[in-house]
Amino acid sequence: MQQTFNLYVHYPFCLRRCPYCAFYSTELTESEILRAYPDLIMRELDLRSPDWRGFLLKSIYFGGGTPSLMTAAEVSLIIAAILDRFTPVDNLEVSLEANPGTLSRNSIEDLIKTGINRLSLGLQSLSDERLSFLGRIHNKTEALKALADAKRFSKLKVSVDLMVGTPLEDTGSWDVEIDTLLPYRPDGISFYSLTLEEGTRLASRGQRGELVNLPVDATVDLLLHVAGKLAEAGYHHYEVSNWALPGSECRHNLHYWERGSYLGLGPSAHSFTGSRRSWNAASLQAYRAALEGNRLPPSESEDLNDDEIRMEWVYLKLRQAGGLDLEEYRIKFGDPPPYWQKIFERIGASGLGVYTGRSFKPNDRGLLLADEIALRILG
């Protein structure tokens, strides 16, 4: 069977950096590098594509930053360059992250014409108070308008990102937000826990003693409450942070979680081939200087040994609803450690999932505590 890979394009520009965000990005300015950026991506594509000959392209994903700041012409140019170099699978998934404050019905229609067929809307909240706390450039009205505009197009899958864990929420406030969201029937819903990432403005506020996020246990309780409402509405909890209507799971992310190969373009973008992980330096200036000299951008890499590959595989399986199949483990890595049986039995008995002797499948609580389960299994 021919190998497949994903392609990720990092767009590092945004209108304003959010105080919690640790991804590499820079605030938008009217500069030459902004206009030159699509050409830089295509230069890197030219230099890296020979290493990926023979692979089928499974998905394209534009992340950032705020990729919805790109013009449709720029998006179209990059997609065309990618498809000129790689053979896609049937029903290629082409996704783009979007900030609701940067969209209109016309701009969404223009993006669809470029080949975008999945839009990931960074709503983060449907509360104006929480949106202000999170430093977002949009408000609730703009968020709902962007969602409504996107849902008008039947060929477009629409997922939404929400953030949980601010000190401004409880089960009652989430009931209001979920009840507001569900009539729009987004195809996918992602809930990300608010964490204090080193170097962010929110982390600095936390270090000064300000209450900026909820304890982990409180966040898990909120997510369990939300999970129940989403299940009633027909959404499947298929990964720690992700729910979807049947058949609407994000194929790009599923490929990541199955340790599939991927190529990343742009400053800070990561690539992976199964045993090697590499990443471009998080510097727009260094990225530009290298590519304008017809050189690959500066990067680092790490090679995974057999045990690291095994542990990563187990960790990722425990983060998915399908869980860990012990026969699949045996085929890949040999017999599992004998002590696993008792550990899985205890985990199952504690109400975190179902252990059959042949497999372990986490339930909602087990998914939300996947890191703790992995620590108990892997030591």
318 and 184 both lie in a single domain: no
pLDDT at 72: 98
Alpha-carbon span 13 to 26, nearest angstrom:
5
- How much is the average pLDDT of 41-62? 97
Domain shared by 44 and 193, yes or no: yes
Give a yes or no: residue 64 inside a domain. Answer: yes
- As a whole number, the mean pLDDT across the chain is 96
Same domain, 222 and 311: no
The CATH number covering residue 22 comes to: 3.20.20.70
Give yes or no for a contact between 29 and 12, defined as CB atoms under 8 angstroms apart. Answer: no
Tokens at 368, concatenated: 């939300």
pLDDT at 6: 98
- Asked, for residue 288, whether it belongs to a domain, the answer is no
Residue numbers of the domain that contains 318:
307-378
In a domain, 89, yes or no: yes
**Pair 176, 312 in one domain:** no
Residue 131: band (very low, low, confident or very high) from pLDDT cuts 50, 70, 90: very high
Residues 131 and 238 occupy one common structural domain = yes
Rounded to whole angstroms, the Cα distance separating 267 from 272 reads 15
Q: What is the mean pLDDT of residues 244-262?
A: 97
Among the ranges given (24-28, 234-238, 308-312), the one the predictor scored with the smallest mean pLDDT? 24-28
**pLDDT at residue 24 is higher than 90:** no
Residue 276 lies in a domain: no
Domain count along the chain = 2
Tokens of 104: 């209109």
Residue 129 domain flag: yes
Is the confidence at residue 117, as pLDDT, over 70?
Answer: yes
Average pLDDT value for residue range 163-170: 96
Q: Find the CATH number of the domain harbouring 346.
A: 1.10.10.920
**How far, CA to CA in Å, does 40 sit from each of 26, 36, 266, 278, 286?**
16, 6, 8, 19, 12
DSSP three-state, residue 275? coil
- pLDDT(29) > 80: no
The predicted pLDDT at position 30 comes to: 66
Q: Are residues 73 and 151 in the same domain?
A: yes
CA–CA separation, 265 and 273 (whole Å): 15
Full-model pTM: 0.96
